[in-house]
Structure 1
Amino acid sequence: MDEDVIEWLLAGDPAVAWQARRDLLGEPAEVVAAERARVTRDGLAAQMLELQGDDGYWGGLTYGPRRERDSVMWTLHVLLRFGVDPEAPEVRAAIARVRDGVVWTEPDGGRAFFEGAEEECVNGGVLSYASYFGALDVAGDELVDRLLMQRLPDGGWNCEPIAESTRSSFDTTLCVLEGLRAYQRATGTHDAALATAILTGEEYLLDRGLFLRASTGEVANPRYTSFAFPMYWFYDALRALDHFRLSADRPGGGAPDDRLAPALELLRSQRLPDGRWPAGPQRPTLRGWFVEAPEGAPSRWNTLRALRVLRWAEGA
């Protein structure tokens, strides 16, 4: 790792800096904790938390129209990816307001936010948030059971109705896997059905090299080769690699599977001459803010994520 690149990461938002200190530098726990505390005090996350309404909503929306990110669903996504401390008083208060006030609108029946909606990809995200922010008591077990029942014969998931597609999608499968792994990690469960579902979902992605068609070996979707932050429900190969990095702590985890090689080669190929990675398409967050550099410019988020994946994959 280039020292200039590390210094550049540390000079970014505290959300980037604290994760770089933990995942790239391996600094002492007290140093990492001090940097992490700045996330909800000095960083963009602090501004996001301040914009929550007393009713628990951001932007007055639970999920929002397809392209609208000024909502509870996607603000929690960003806060999780920022790694805000779930025990920080500001965060605990924000989650309490969500628990008490936010509900899903039709067609999802007015359920409380942490009870989840109908679509698998949405519920994968909700399960991730409930696991991270300590809200699994609302409906965590029920969400897991629902997702296990919705698994398709090929091992993954798809938000499209069965009448329209019986094949899994990369996007939905990864969203669900992230939620199931977060639940498994938060609860410490060794449930066999859950472990099997995670395994088959991961096999679905691994058998496709994380971004290739199983039938032809061609790129399944050009978007999967372009890395953007925040990810929201969108799939890309770097997001998938990060999932496998985080999954290495489970029984049977550890060294990277050989089938990750195409995705790792794709990741290395996008490294810029100065040791950074470029930004993908910009995606707005709360109030239309961008947390990412313009497309093609050096990206702190992609650089952080790429370096820690390669550090794991190369056994550093």
Structure 2
Amino acid sequence: MTDYDEVYVSPRHLAGSTAIGDPGLQPALDAGWTISHDDAGNAYLPSPDQRIRIGYLPEGDDDALWKIAAYQQPFAKPRWAAAFSSDCPTEFVTAFTTELVPLHEPEGDKFLTGGIGYRLHPVSTVLQPLLDAGWTLATNFHPTRPELRAPDGLAGAWFDRGNLDPDDELTTNTTRWGMWGGPPRARWHAVFSTHTPTRLITATAAAVADPAPVLRWPGELSRMTRERATITPVRPPAPTPLDMARSRRPAPTLQTVSVPRWTTSTPSAPLPGPFRPASRR
């Protein structure tokens, strides 16, 4: 496998995270949001009005690699919060941020609404992409917490109908909605508090259910991925006669300029004011 630059991994809920957070941050960067970093290398992308905050936290104080929160006012308590753990496939975060960023308007509240009263939430509507992909209701779920399971039994998604503490939802993994993947000792999770717009959860579920394999560098693959996922090397196309003829020609001497790829380790001034969603214990 090391002879190949990239590999395809499926199912994607066993792919693990990418080594950098670029894809999950890109929707906000494309919208003109400004990135900053702290001295530890964590990255922060607030919306221009500070009412949405995305944090990519490889050096955070818990296992949440991504924390995302939305606020009615910049200095208010979060209206809702979401978190994705360290091994969560980055494609799922990207699906969430791709759906979230266009909802932001300077004078609008679309990104704060859409979390219907939890007692009325039809799981079959919000998590329909998983049902369409053949996920079924787990037989051993708690009466107030129905859970869907992937056909291989190595991923799930749940909805808690119980009475949850609003503050705990913002700072812990005891939340209204959640998803997970992997075996018990190598499991990722994604959690969403009660008022998270359900369209964001549905977009994440669609990314989880997508049968298309995802690309990874061999060095990104965890032991769990190597043991349980299907891994297919990306083979380069066979060279054409024109390619072979060109390879025999002497290469011209060119003056080049190196342009480094953007990563989350690029130094920048820290973001002023409160920029970090509530930490999870």
Which TM-score band applies after superposition, normalised by the shorter structure?
Answer: under 0.3
Q: Which has the higher contact order (CA 8 A, sep 6+)?
A: 2
The TM-score normalised by the length of structure 1 is: 0.24
The TM-score normalised by the length of structure 2 is: 0.26
| Between structures 1 and 2, the one with greater helix share | 1
